[in-house]
A and B are shown apart, each in its own frame.
Chain A
Amino acid sequence: MSSTANTHGAHEPVNKSTGRLVLAWVLVGIPLAYGVFQTLTQVAALFG
């Protein structure tokens, strides 16, 4: 399934905006990955 907008259900030309999409996910993904990594480091004590 396409993930781009189709106004009124019509199949219109698609602007991929891939760069913007990647930037947006990187902006939220990196801090989240950092937080998960830091927490997993702490969790290691549980299995150490």
Chain B
Amino acid sequence: MGFLDRDHSIAPPGFNRWLVPPAALAVHLCIGQAYATSVYKTALVKHFGASLTEVGVIFSIAIVMLGLSAAVMGTWVDTNGPRKAMFTSAMFWAGGFLIGSVGIFTRQLWLVYLGYGVVGGIGLGIGYISPVSTLIKWFPDRPGLATGMAIMGFGGGALIASPVSQALLKAYDPNSGAQGWVASGDAVGKLFLTLAVVYLAYMLFGAFTVRVPADGWRPAGFDPSKVKAAKLVTTENVSAKNAIKTRQFWLVWVALFCNVTAGIGILEQAAPMIQDFFRQADGKSLVSAGVAAGFVGLLSIGNMSGRFAWSATSDVTGRKRIYMVYLGVGAVLYTVLALAGSSATALYVVLAFVIISFYGGGFATVPAYLRDLFGTFQVGAIHGRLLTAWSAAGVAGPLIVNSILDAQGKPGQLNAVSYQPALLTMVALLVIGFVANLLVKPVDARFHESRPERHESHHGGLK
């Protein structure tokens, strides 16, 4: 398996660096399927005779494993390079679907937990961070653009997986034409098998396309001294072990946590929320279920495009400033949404779209932010550790919104006023994140790696 080693993936002279973003996208588009699990959720509930919560646990395990594996495996990914990491991610992700399909065919839910949740979740975590440090090294002149392109794929993956999965479920189930049809377990099992094969092929394409730049490589015409001109951008390096000891790491952690928690607050409730906001006195909503589904689709586009557009913009504005926009302008928009969002559907839709684009932008910009603060040395590992903020927000966001809404009334009876406490809580969170981001200063020199140590440590994993 030596062909997977970092040494065997060093780019030859003349290699086109624009081959690296599609390699990264190939991985992120596949693992982005994690956001399309709702397509077969009802089918699994029926197949296993389980509750929505029991089936929902599959997704929760996967997201927790994403955060844990990214945090634990980050250093391994940085040491062994993107090819081995993408290959490993492909094995885990496809293997998760295979084990999951066995669980579905044999009606053993625990096997789906183990397969999609645990094994697939590890594939998610390794796959998510696998191309990040490589992209930053290939695009030192535009790190935000580069990581934005890749992480956009995670948002885009669900856009592909949802319609493809629906079409495949219909093709695999002979009863798909029946009224009130819910896909059979057999159809979902076959869907899992198909996704395993397709995702494996795509991710292996990514693994064998990606290359790391040779030591000392830089883009033609790129002047590192111009990068140094920015106050927060370092030319030094900080190890992952030392990074988590710095105040900067935890300030960025808080900023990301607050941004993600606020975004998830809307994403989790998107469809019922727009209907509740425009509920009339007679209890009926002006927004139909079909229109609400369209709104959810629009938010997916906002999430995906924000990842690319805002992250690319951060190369011009700087990372700290763009985070001030995500958190500061986000807080203002959230306040307007809470207090005036029900005045017009168009206003509500525009506000939610921009807020969700900030949510996506936060994810995509943070690797470049870490590069600015800690250098490129172990930025993948540091990013992996930072993603624990995502796991924490994934628990906190829905918990905050659902517990507040539960206290306001029953689903179907809520209106715009019912959402105000939850939304204003999110505003408070965004303000906390804004202050945390404001406090970010350059990392103290005592955390910097000495250059000889850095060299030895970097090549230690290649022995």
Contacts and interface: CB of A to CB of B under 8 A. Distances in A.
A25 B222 CA distance: 25
Contact of A3 (B13, B17, B202, B216): B17
A2 B14 contact: no
Contact of B14 (A8, A13, A24): A13
Contacts of B19: 17, 20-21, 24
B414 to A, nearest CB: 21
B349 A46 contact: yes
A38 B156 CA distance: 12
Interface string B9-22: 00111111111001
B22 A25 contact: yes
B411 interface: no
Interface stretch (B297-305, B322-330, B332-340, B398-406): B297-305
Contact of A27 (B22, B215, B218): B22
Nearest to B14: A15
B294 A44 contact: yes
B354 to A, nearest CB: 16
B294 A43 contact: yes
A17 B18 CA distance: 10
B141 A5 contact: no
Interface string A9-46: 10111111100110011011101101110111011111
Contacts of A7: 13, 214, 216-217
A35 B217 contact: no
Interface size class of chain B, counting residues whose CB lies under 8 Å from the partner chain: 35 or more
Nearest to B139: A3
Among the interface residues A14, A16, A28, A36, which one has the most CB atoms of the partner chain B within 10 A? A28
Contacts of B297: 39-40, 42-43, 46
Contacts of A39: 159, 162-163, 297-298, 300-301
B209 A24 contact: yes
B262 interface: no
Given A12-B13, A45-B291, A1 B160 contact: no
Contacts of B26: 27-28
Contact of B156 (A1, A20, A35, A47): A35
B153 interface: yes
B218 to A, nearest CB: 5
A45 B293 contact: yes
Among the interface residues A5, A16, A20, A38, which one has the most CB atoms of the partner chain B within 10 A? A5
Among the interface residues B15, B218, B220, which one has the most CB atoms of the partner chain A within 10 A? B220
B219 interface: yes
B251 interface: no
Contacts of A44: 294
B220 A6 contact: yes
Nearest to A25: B22
B381 interface: no
Given A45-B291, A46-B349, A3 B16 contact: yes
Among the interface residues A4, A17, A44, which one has the most CB atoms of the partner chain B within 10 A? A4
Given A14-B14, A39-B297, A45-B290, A9 B218 contact: yes
B160 A32 contact: yes
Nearest to B20: A24
B172 interface: no
Nearest to B289: A45
Contacts of B216: 7-9
A36 B16 CA distance: 27
B447 interface: no
A34 B290 CA distance: 21
B399 to A, nearest CB: 28
B435 to A, nearest CB: 35
B294 A6 contact: no
B254 interface: no
A28 B32 CA distance: 13
Interface string B211-244: 0011111111110000000000000000000000
13 contacts: A4-B220, A5-B11, A5-B213, A8-B214, A17-B14, A17-B15, A24-B209, A27-B202, A28-B22, A36-B301, A39-B163, A45-B294, A46-B298
Interface of A: 1-9, 11-17, 20-21, 24-25, 27-29, 31-32, 34-36, 38-40, 42-48
Across chains A and B, which 3 residue pairs bring their CB atoms closest together, nearest first? A35-B159, A15-B14, A35-B160
